[in-house]
């Protein structure tokens, strides 16, 4: 076999001219602003390009006055992203929040007692002996939960005084009204009339303390979730356009896309996720899969994207460029 024939396999060549943008990143000549840097993400490739798409889609949500749903898992509140979420609510950038019970738990704790920076590689048994709980490289001393139980027991007395069966949205709103911390997501939501939906309210310490409260104080108290689900569906159908920003996945993400199914799908969707698509779970499902279900609309112009990245790295960049 001669060299020419092998070269055809190694370097086959191409007659096609691609009309797409050249791959090019930021060159750092002259002064650089955050906006300058993020503008070059569009042509950087890989997840940077997806983040640039997410910024563009999020801006379009606002330009078209879409009702913006923000969904998040509790680890977002565990981290310093709590302050980012509180700012979005405080400044009127989101209309609906859907989250997990841990978000409510940890938001309340942080109004009185901070979480502390720890390390990933820790002696777990020694931490247990010291009364320290580990969330990645964040440490949470157990005294936080002792304080929380006392705080919630006082709150439960008032919350269930006149109505024995309440909804998670009422729980979040009235709990937020008791807080005095400007960085609290619950307080900002209560102050700015942003509903917080928590379909799995019992799936954290709130659930544990509700259990003990019902057993020891009042067996008639309860949490009703269907009213909230109905409100999500019916309010969504009244919206002219909707946009979803899903930070993490699980129940909050699915509640947002499922309730938007009733209105024919959301017009815009931005996912920030580390979920793996290969296992077929909802957590790893990209937004184009939601199109097949009718939960997100398909448009001729890009109206959905997924940034495969850990949220603390990219959410502040998205918020800074798309909202501020």
- Collapsing DSSP to helix, strand or coil, 280 comes out as coil
Dihedral angle sign, alpha carbons of residues 236, 307, 186, 88: negative
Distance CA 58, CA 66 (A): 10
Catalytic residue among 110, 187, 253, 295: 295
Residue 184: phi, psi to the nearest 5?
Answer: -80, 125
117 closest CA partner among 151, 82, 78: 78
Q: 3-state secondary structure string, 174-228?
A: HHHHCCCCCCCHHHHHHHCCCCEECCCCCCCHHHHHHHHHHHHCCCCCEECCHHH
Distance CA 45, CA 28 (A): 17
CA 266, 73, 291 angle in degrees (round to 5)?
25
Distance CA 127, CA 134 (A): 8
What is the full DSSP assignment across 236-252? HHH-S-EEEEEES-HHH
Distance CA 64, CA 266 (A): 13
- Collapsing DSSP to helix, strand or coil, 112 comes out as coil
CA dihedral of residues 8, 9, 13, 16 (deg, nearest 10): 120
Question: Does 295 participate in catalysis according to the annotation?
Answer: yes
Distance CA 284, CA 276 (A): 4
The length of the chain in residues reads 324
- Annotated catalytic residues are 295
């Amino acid at each position: 076999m001669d060299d020419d024939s092998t070269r055809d396999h190694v370097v086959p060549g191409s007659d096609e001219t691609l009309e797409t943008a050249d791959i090019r990143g930021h060159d750092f000549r002259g002064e650089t602003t955050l906006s300058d840097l993020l503008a070059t993400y569009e042509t950087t490739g890989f997840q940077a390009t997806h983040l640039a798409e997410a910024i563009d889609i999020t801006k379009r949500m606002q330009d078209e006055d879409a009702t913006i749903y923000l969904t998040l898992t509790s680890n977002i509140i565990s981290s310093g992203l709590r302050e980012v979420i509180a700012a979005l609510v405080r400044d009127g950038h989101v209309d609906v929040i859907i989250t997990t019970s841990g978000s409510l738990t940890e938001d309340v704790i942080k109004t009185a007692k901070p979480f502390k920076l720890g390390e990933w590689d820790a002696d777990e048994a020694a931490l247990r002996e010291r009364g320290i709980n580990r969330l990645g490289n964040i440490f949470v001393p157990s005294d936080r939960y002792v304080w929380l139980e006392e705080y919630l027991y006082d709150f439960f007395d008032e919350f269930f005084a006149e109505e024995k069966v309440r909804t998670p949205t009422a729980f979040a709103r009235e709990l937020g009204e008791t807080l005095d911390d400007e960085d609290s997501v619950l307080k900002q939501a209560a102050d700015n009339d942003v509903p917080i939906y928590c379909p799995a309210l019992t799936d954290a310490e709130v659930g544990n303390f509700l259990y003990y409260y019902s057993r020891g104080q009042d067996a008639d108290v309860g949490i009703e979730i269907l009213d909230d689900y109905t409100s999500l569906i019916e309010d969504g159908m009244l919206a002219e356009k909707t946009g979803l920003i899903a930070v993490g996945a699980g129940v909050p993400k699915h509640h947002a896309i499922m309730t938007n199914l009733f209105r024919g799908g959301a017009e815009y969707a931005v996912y920030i996720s580390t979920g793996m698509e290969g296992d077929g779970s909802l957590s790893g499902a990209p937004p184009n899969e939601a199109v097949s279900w009718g939960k997100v609309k398909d448009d001729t112009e890009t109206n959905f994207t997924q940034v495969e990245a850990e949220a603390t790295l990219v959410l502040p960049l998205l918020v800074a460029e798309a909202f501020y």
